[in-house]
Amino acid sequence: MTAGAAPDVPALRPGACQLWWASAGDAHPRLRELLDEGERARADRLRRPAERALHLTAHALARTVAAAQLGIPAATLPLTVVCKRCGGPHGKPQPPLPLRLSWSHSGDRVVVALSLGTEIGVDVERIAPFAPETAERVLCAPERTALAALPAARRPEGFVRYWTRKEALLKATGDGLAVAPELLHLTAPDAPPRLLSWSGPERPRLPLHLYDLDAGTGHLAALAAFGAPVRPTQHDGSALLAAVGAARCAPGTSCHLPLPAAERPLAS
């Protein structure tokens, strides 16, 4: 594993979880060469340039860091997608064992999480107003009470804190939104992150570990590990993608993927 690690990607150690951060502005056309045919097709179906930039950045970064651990080209990295419930070709993409992978993007932020052996889930969200009916669908009764007790100006942040934690947990278990988020009861937004209870017959038997992450101004993020705790480490995905782009761009050409002003994500 360590022999194949690229110089810009530290070798992944057991018990660690690398978190690679980037932004929509890191997208450039040459990164498309790192994606497989299906990933490029999905990118082309996205109508908004900002969404395509986030998609391209996330997939290229995930392939780059995972492939570096295996010592193979990013474009050749096999990613298996199998639903844990029905066995269909959908769900969380996974590289060859023992690598475990998760990624997320929202607003202007992209995060990729990578571990050895431990199932992980990561989620980042832009802080934004939410509709009351959304809280009804996502939060259990004690969580709604805790959210309502916050000052009005802090409720959007509180709701997003709940959401990122729940999304990370459900990604780590592989359930995704097949499990209703309101079945999970978490600690209050201001308290250290912890799963208090999981209602219903599908509660995981292994322990779940939850971490709040610093996602920068205007965003919140969370990481979850299923079965064993991990040690999160932070890494610069923007610099890594810039190096990848520079290596793949012909001299005298521009590799920047510009976004029209109306489509640029709001500044953090």
pLDDT classification of 77: cutoffs 50, 70, 90: very high
The model's pLDDT over 184-204, given as tens digits with 9 standing for 90+, comes to: 999 999 999 999 999 987 789
Q: Which amino acid is at 144?
A: R
**Whole-prediction pTM:** 0.88
Interval 13-72: pLDDT, tens: 999 999 999 999 999 999 999 999 989 998 999 989 999 999 999 999 999 999 999 999
21: left (phi over 0), alpha (psi -120 to 50) or beta: beta
Q: How far is CA 190 from the centre of its chain?
A: 22
CA distance 186 to 142: 9
Per-residue pLDDT reduced to its tens digit, 83-106: 777 777 777 889 999 999 999 999
Handedness of CA 125, 9, 6, 113 (dihedral sign): negative
The strand pairing partners of 18, in sequence order, are 114, 233
Q: Which two tokens stand for residue 94?
A: 């996974």
User: Parallel, antiparallel, or unpaired for β 208-213 and 109-116?
Assistant: unpaired
pLDDT at residue number 95 = 94
pLDDT for the residue numbered 249:
59
pLDDT (tens digit per residue) in 127-185: 999 999 999 999 999 999 999 999 999 999 999 999 999 999 999 999 998 899 999 99
Largest CA distance in the chain: 60
Instruction: Say which residues have a Cβ less than 8 Å from residue 28's Cβ, sequence separation at least 6.
Output: 241, 245, 249, 255, 256, 257
Cα–Cα distance measured from residue 83 to residue 85, given in angstroms and rounded to the nearest whole number: 5
